Amino acid sequence: MSGSLDSVRLRTPAAAVKSGRWGILHSTRSRSLLLVATCVALLLLSGGSMFVGSGSIAPDAVIGALMSGGSDTDSILVTDYRVPRTLLGVVVGVALGLAGALMQAITRNPLADPGILGVNSGAYFAVVLGITVFGASGVTSYVWWAFAGAILTTVAVFLVGSRGRAGATPVRLVLAGVAIGAVLSGISLGITLLNPDTFDRIRFWSVGSLQSRQIDILWGVLPFIVLGTLVALVLSRTLNVVALGDDLAKSLGAHVMRTRVFGLVAITLLCGAATAAVGPISFLGLMAPYVARAMFGPDQRWVVPFTLVIAPVIFLGADMLGRVAVSSELPVGIVTAFVGAPILIVIIRRKQARPL
């Protein structure tokens, strides 16, 4: 069943040394410099995000609103919409990037993404169910449905993917994710087609957008994302050993199963909260760790922290691009798909489908 999918695995540190394909940066000094530079870029982008929008607000008005508040329309637009939107963009970017890095490390599959493990579909399905059966309305109530859906799907995917003595191999996990995701989106489609009202409401959530998200959504998802981020950072050391393969990792004394379980907990927290807040976003979880590995090589102690900074940079950049590209605003989910998919194609072309 697995065949050629099996051959796509993350380069292990050992294999990378042998093939001489470390990342671009070698010395600790240049790596630290890049990390700091990316942090600065994130700060600059966050600042810039205050000044960009579909309605044009004069820069000094923006600064005035940020400094002293104010009750005119422009000030309210800045403090109640642009500020929460930017903060949420950073938080969701961190969450999705880290979730992608964890997924790729745990499944040893460089192509893993929240979309592939079915988490987006699970969240989407739960929101459809919430709207249709339980009359949920408004993003604040979608949050909890999406969260529940993401958790249940991740657990289901893991249970199906890890049955049998062989356990959760990369290929089986991905296949389980694809299969369960397909069933859930099929049922969601059936429900929405039979309920035009649900269809109308969900189509605005389902593309993935930061538009008109206010501060309450940020507070709603922040605790989960903080918790997930902490777990991910703690795990990053063990992930290096897990990348060597189950047998070798076990013989080196790593608790492979425990790492996987905690990894999945973190993935669920991060993906569920992010998807709940902004809708399904694809490819950010694929892109950010890819860029990190290209820069730093396969060492997860560098990949995880760098992903943490580069992911919100990409995400905020994509959101700002969407705000100015089209007069009626392009949802950020569409921009990330258009930026991320070509990167996926580049990966697969450059490595000529050999193990990455």
Q: Which residue in the set 7, 54, 56, 73 belongs to the binding site for other proteins (CB under 8 A)?
A: 7
Give the DSSP letter string of 184-253.
Answer: HHHHHHHHHHH-HHHHHHHHHHTT---TT--HHHHHHHHHHHHHHHHHHHHHHHHHHHHTT-HHHHHHTT
Q: Which of residues 60-79 bind other proteins (CB under 8 A)?
A: none
Q: Does the protein bind other proteins through residue 5 (CB under 8 A)? A: yes
Q: Which residue in the set 58, 193, 257, 324 belongs to the binding site for other proteins (CB under 8 A)?
A: 193
Q: Which helix (H) or strand (E) holds 287?
A: helix 284-296
Q: Compute, in degrees rounded to 10, the torsion defined by CA atoms 94, 99, 100, 105.
A: 130
Q: Which residue in the set 60, 68, 165, 247 belongs to the binding site for other proteins (CB under 8 A)?
A: 165
Compute φ and ψ for 71, nearest 5 degrees: -120, 5
Q: Does the protein bind other proteins through residue 334 (CB under 8 A)? A: yes
Number of residues near other proteins (by CB under 8 A): 57
Q: How far apart are CA 43 and CA 140, in angstroms?
A: 27
Is residue 335 within 8 A of residue 321, CB to CB? The reply is yes
Q: Does the protein bind other proteins through residue 355 (CB under 8 A)? A: no
Q: Which is nearer to other proteins, 86 or 185 (CB)?
A: 185
Q: Does the protein bind other proteins through residue 112 (CB under 8 A)? A: no
Is residue 331 within 8 A of residue 209, CB to CB? The reply is yes
Q: Which is nearer to other proteins, 121 or 259 (CB)?
A: 121
Q: Does the protein bind other proteins through residue 133 (CB under 8 A)? A: no
Q: Does the protein bind other proteins through residue 43 (CB under 8 A)? A: no
Sole window of 130-138, 195-203, 231-239, 244-252 interacting with other proteins (rule: CB under 8 A): 195-203
Q: How many CB atoms lie within 10 A of CB 53?
A: 18
Q: Which residue in the set 196, 247, 253, 327 belongs to the binding site for other proteins (CB under 8 A)?
A: 196
Q: How far apart are CA 259 and CA 236, in angstroms?
A: 10
Compute φ and ψ for 228, nearest 5 degrees: -60, -40
The residues of the shown chain that bind other proteins, judged by CB under 8 A, are 1, 3-5, 7-8, 111, 115, 160-161, 163-166, 172, 175-176, 178-187, 189-190, 192-194, 196, 199-200, 203-204, 206-207, 282-283, 328, 330-331, 333-334, 337-338, 340-342, 344-345, 348-349, 352-353
